[in-house]
Amino acid sequence: MGFRDLLKRSVKKALGREGKANGGSSSSGGRASLPPGAVAWDKDITPTRHGQVVADGVGVAIFRIDGGLLAIDNACTHEDGPLAEGECKDGVVTCPYHDWRFDVKTGQCLSHANRQVGCWDVEVREGAVYVTGQRTKASPERGGAHDDGMAVLTRNLDEEGT
């Protein structure tokens, strides 16, 4: 056995895959693949660890609130900050970029009127999470005042054809 074989065997052993095919589940720490159409495992989304997934080509943030799952657009309507990376408390997520706040249940922006994010329907089947459709649409506006007083260029995504 050469050095490369020894190295490969050590890596496989460390990954718990010795004697098993790549992918799929194993009894030694491997994970099952998600079923077709699923975006996450239910158990992986916790009150402090949000889901950041893609559904219908759109970024969606999934939150566990009061034991259930709720989903909104991941892109903040200020400057597209990733809401799944924000802190969520009492059903309100705070954007990690400039602190705009959104009600996860309704999508309403609590920092600036008429700047709601879209809401999505989610289902859990056999432990897997599915995003099943968009319930409400986001404001197409972007930009506006930062809460620190700095103004940024406002634009309308609909007029830009995006």
The residues of the shown chain that bind ligand FES, judged by CB under 6 A, are: 76, 78-79, 81, 95, 97-100
The residue (of 42 and 79) whose beta carbon lies closer to ligand FES is 79
The residue (of 102 and 130) whose beta carbon lies closer to ligand FES is 102
The amino acid that residue 80 corresponds to is D
The residue (of 81 and 118) whose beta carbon lies closer to ligand FES is 81
DSSP state at residue 48: S
**What's the closest the beta carbon of residue 86 comes to ligand FES, in angstroms?**
8
- Give the integer Cα–Cα distance in Å for 105 and 65: 9
**What's the closest the beta carbon of residue 20 comes to ligand FES, in angstroms?**
43
All residues at 6 or more sequence positions from 5 whose CB lies less than 8 Å from its CB, including other chains: none
The residue (of 70 and 74) whose beta carbon lies closer to ligand FES is 74
**What's the closest the beta carbon of residue 48 comes to ligand FES, in angstroms?**
19
DSSP bridge partners of 130: 123
**What's the closest the beta carbon of residue 84 comes to ligand FES, in angstroms?**
12
Contact predicate 60/53, CB 8 Å: yes
Contact predicate 61/82, CB 8 Å: yes
